[in-house]
């Protein structure tokens, strides 16, 4: 099928964008190189997408550098207005964006429609409103001096995003950076560039000046690495694996870029014996199976009090087995395919890793048998009981619909398990005991804790991790601070300063 036929087949009204977006225009890569982006439902080719090389990144940085003075000096409210307009356009094109995201990533349409697109619009709207809310400060210094603090944008920022929530992460990254007055060179993941390119189109429509936002799909090892190294880029913000995060830190050293990292996680989701069991079962399924488990904050370690473990698992396994796997573009699908074949294989390999260490597969552990899903990257909801919290499946991020079950006897053991990994991103707990809940929240080595819920996000609430889950925070006022630097300005109003040197 050609691109126009695919477009029609999935109900898209407008062309699928597949070129780089530099200085306000869609252009081919200088080298002419392209790479196919696939539909993970059946691994058919959707589009050949231009792949940026060094020259293209250089052009994008040049465009962003040229656009920076005017954009950063524009009235903050006017920058905000463009982001607010973009949020409206995202809502006006909601179905288009939802279908495109489902096609390219495998997100079930009900997720793309109900979560990805509304959250993307909400994020741009939040930061549109935030643009003129971040204020400087005045410091009460010595008599006779006025010391004020300016919050200034950094300049050109590089942003590298992964394939698990491409649309939503585009807004998490670009919203605060743009509101604060920075210009951007963003690289989407090579396997999921389509929704980000569509956002670029809508940005132009919203009145974004040329060069403020540049999108350079390409290989991480080429375009991503070059962005991290680039001397013209003041900061790099990255979401992805911890291993790549380390590489980015090293690459950033050349010009001492500011770095912000949102890396992997191995979320502990603890269920105490006094929890509302039904709420905990439903919430724990959401924690791991939403988006096929491809979430850094997934509740991928299910830590159960031994008194309720059997009853909980009974209900949880029944729920997991009832989840409807299918074509993401079918509105009744609850779980789609993983986003790539390579990743599907990686996730399934962990089933063997679990068995080798004495783990027991309680559900799933394989692809579905339905013939219409045979060519896709599907994995059944998988529940594995591990022997120890030290096992690989209890320590390493699987990033799929794969949950590792562990049990505990008392609060101290629950906390020991929760804090036993190098990661520290999201975590959760289910209990009716108020004191225990707050105590656990205090002691958990994590950037986010959910009590009697899991995986809540909001544009106003800081998102990020500790330990090997990275540093820096997305969203909220924190994100605006991450994309600005403080300048301290001293004014001698009427200070009595001796002529040269204070004499005793």
Q: Where in the sequence numbering do the catalytic residues fall?
A: 262, 296
Which partner from the list Mg ion, ligand NAP, none does 263 bind, CB cut-off 5 to 8 Å by kind? ligand NAP
CB of 346 to ligand NAP, least distance (A): 6
- Cβ atoms < 10 Å from Cβ of 129: 16
Rule CB under 5 A: choose which of 23, 56, 101, 104 binds Mg ion.
104
Task: List the one residue out of 260, 255, 261 whose CA is nearest residue 61.
Answer: 255
Rule CB under 6 A: choose which of 23, 101, 104, 190 binds ligand NAP.
190
Give the residue with the Cβ less far from Mg ion, 117 or 403.
Answer: 117
CB 35 within 8 A of CB 216: no
Q: Which residues contact 318 (CB under 8 A, 6 or more apart)?
A: none
Alpha helices in 93-181 (DSSP H): 94-105, 109-111, 117-130, 166-179
In angstroms, rounded to a whole number, what is the distance separating the alpha carbons of residues 419 and 239? 22
Give the residue with the Cβ less far from ligand NAP, 93 or 468.
Answer: 468
Give the residue with the Cβ less far from Mg ion, 188 or 365.
Answer: 188
CB of 34 to Mg ion, least distance (A): 14
In angstroms, rounded to a whole number, what is the distance separating the alpha carbons of residues 445 and 462? 16
Rule CB under 5 A: choose which of 7, 19, 37, 404 binds Mg ion.
37
Give the residue with the Cβ less far from Mg ion, 195 or 382.
Answer: 195
CB 239 within 8 A of CB 296: yes
In angstroms, rounded to a whole number, what is the distance separating the alpha carbons of residues 269 and 349? 23
- Cβ atoms < 10 Å from Cβ of 189: 26
The backbone torsions φ and ψ at residue 151, rounded to the nearest 5 degrees and listed phi first, read -100, 110
CB of 391 to ligand NAP, least distance (A): 17
In angstroms, rounded to a whole number, what is the distance separating the alpha carbons of residues 454 and 268? 10
In angstroms, rounded to a whole number, what is the distance separating the alpha carbons of residues 53 and 20? 11
Alpha helices in 131-165 (DSSP H): none
Restricted to residues 229-288, the positions that interact with ligand NAP (CB under 6 A) are 239-241, 244, 247-248, 262-264
CB of 240 to ligand NAP, least distance (A): 3
Which partner from the list Mg ion, ligand NAP, none does 416 bind, CB cut-off 5 to 8 Å by kind? none
Give the residue with the Cβ less far from ligand NAP, 36 or 77.
Answer: 36
* Binding of residue 229 to Mg ion (CB under 5 A): no
| Euclidean distance between the first and the last CA atom of the chain, given in angstroms as a whole number | 87
Q: Count residues binding ligand NAP (CB under 6 A).
A: 26
Strand partners, 49: 35
In angstroms, rounded to a whole number, what is the distance separating the alpha carbons of residues 486 and 401? 43
The first and second tokens of residue 96, run together, are 């288009």
* Binding of residue 164 to Mg ion (CB under 5 A): no
The first and second tokens of residue 436, run together, are 């225990």
The backbone torsions φ and ψ at residue 453, rounded to the nearest 5 degrees and listed phi first, read -165, 180
Give the residue with the Cβ less far from ligand NAP, 469 or 484.
Answer: 469
CB of 191 to Mg ion, least distance (A): 5
**x/- binding map, residues 399-418, to ligand NAP, per CB under 6 A?**
x-------------------
Give the residue with the Cβ less far from ligand NAP, 104 or 397.
Answer: 397
* Binding of residue 424 to ligand NAP (CB under 6 A): no
In angstroms, rounded to a whole number, what is the distance separating the alpha carbons of residues 390 and 267? 15
CB of 426 to ligand NAP, least distance (A): 10
Rule CB under 6 A: choose which of 160, 199, 363, 479 binds ligand NAP.
160
Give the residue with the Cβ less far from ligand NAP, 164 or 427.
Answer: 164
29-37, 65-73, 165-173, 247-255 -> range binding Mg ion (CB under 5 A): 29-37
**x/- binding map, residues 375-404, to ligand NAP, per CB under 6 A?**
----------------------x-x-----
CB of 94 to ligand NAP, least distance (A): 23
Restricted to residues 211-230, the positions that interact with ligand NAP (CB under 6 A) are 219-221, 224-225, 228
Which partner from the list Mg ion, ligand NAP, none does 415 bind, CB cut-off 5 to 8 Å by kind? none
In angstroms, rounded to a whole number, what is the distance separating the alpha carbons of residues 197 and 48? 13
270 Ramachandran zone, left/alpha/beta (phi>0; psi -120 to 50):
beta
Q: Give the chain's count of helices (H) and strands (E).
A: 17, 20
CB 39 within 8 A of CB 46: yes
The first and second tokens of residue 29, run together, are 């890569």
Which partner from the list Mg ion, ligand NAP, none does 269 bind, CB cut-off 5 to 8 Å by kind? none
In angstroms, rounded to a whole number, what is the distance separating the alpha carbons of residues 199 and 170? 8
Which partner from the list ligand NAP, Mg ion, none does 228 bind, CB cut-off 5 to 8 Å by kind? ligand NAP
* Binding of residue 333 to ligand NAP (CB under 6 A): no
Q: By the criterion CB under 5 A, which residues form the site for Mg ion?
A: 37-38, 104, 191
**What residue ranges bind ligand NAP (CB under 6 A)?**
160-164, 187, 189-190, 219-221, 224-225, 228, 239-241, 244, 247-248, 262-264, 296, 397, 399
């Amino acid at each position: 099928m050609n691109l126009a036929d695919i477009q029609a087949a999935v109900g898209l009204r407008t062309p699928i964008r597949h070129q780089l977006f530099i200085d306000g225009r869609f252009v081919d890569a200088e080298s002419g190189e392209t790479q196919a982006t696939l539909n993970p439902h059946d691994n058919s080719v959707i589009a050949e997408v231009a792949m940026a090389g060094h020259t293209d990144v250089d052009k994008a940085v040049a465009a962003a550098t040229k656009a920076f003075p005017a954009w950063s000096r524009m009235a903050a409210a006017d920058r905000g207005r463009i982001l607010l307009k973009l949020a409206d356009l995202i809502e006006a094109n909601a179905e288009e964006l939802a279908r495109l995201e489902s096609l390219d990533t495998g997100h079930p349409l009900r997720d793309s429609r109900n979560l990805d697109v509304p959250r993307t619009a909400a994020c741009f709207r939040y930061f549109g409103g935030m643009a003129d809310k971040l204020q400087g400060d005045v410091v009460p210094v010595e008599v006779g001096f006025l010391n004020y603090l300016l919050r200034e944008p950094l300049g050109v920022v590089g942003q590298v995003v992964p394939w698990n929530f491409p649309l939503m992460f585009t807004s998490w990254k670009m919203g605060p950076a743009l509101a604060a007055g920075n210009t951007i060179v963003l690289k989407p993941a090579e396997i999921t560039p389509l929704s980000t390119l569509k956002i670029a189109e809508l940005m132009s429509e919203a009145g974004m000046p040329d060069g403020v936002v540049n999108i350079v799909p390409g290989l991480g090892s080429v375009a991503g690495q070059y962005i991290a190294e680039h001397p013209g880029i003041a900061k790099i913000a990255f979401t992805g694996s911890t291993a790549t995060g380390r590489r980015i830190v090293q690459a950033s050293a050349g010009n001492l870029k500011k770095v912000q990292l949102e890396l992997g996680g191995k979320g502990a989701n603890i269920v105490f014996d006094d929890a509302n069991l039904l709420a905990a079962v439903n919430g724990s399924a959401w924690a791991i199976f939403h988006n096929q488990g491809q979430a850094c904050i997934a509740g991928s370690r299910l830590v159960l009090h031994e008194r309720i473990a059997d009853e909980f698992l009974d209900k949880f396994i029944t729920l997991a087995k009832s989840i409807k796997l299918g074509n993401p573009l079918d509105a009744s699908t609850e779980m789609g395919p993983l986003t790539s074949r390579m990743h599907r294989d990686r996730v399934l390999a962990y089933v063997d890793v679990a068995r080798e260490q004495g783990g027991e597969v309680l559900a799933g552990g394989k692809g579905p048998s339905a013939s219409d899903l045979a060519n896709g990257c599907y994995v059944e909801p998988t529940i594995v009981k591990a022997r120890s919290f030290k096992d690989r499946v209890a320590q390493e991020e699987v990033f799929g619909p794969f949950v590792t079950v562990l049990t505990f006897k008392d609060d101290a053991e629950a906390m020991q398990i929760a804090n036993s990994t190098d990661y520290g991103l999201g975590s959760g707990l289910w209990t009716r005991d108020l004191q225990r809940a707050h105590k656990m929240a205090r002691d958990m080595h994590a950037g986010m804790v959910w009590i009697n819920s899991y995986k809540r996000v909001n544009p106003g609430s800081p998102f990020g991790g500790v330990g090997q889950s990275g540093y820096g925070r997305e969203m909220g006022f924190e994100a605006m601070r991450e994309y600005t630097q403080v300048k301290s300005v001293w004014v001698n109003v009427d200070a009595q300063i001796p002529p040269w040197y204070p004499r005793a």
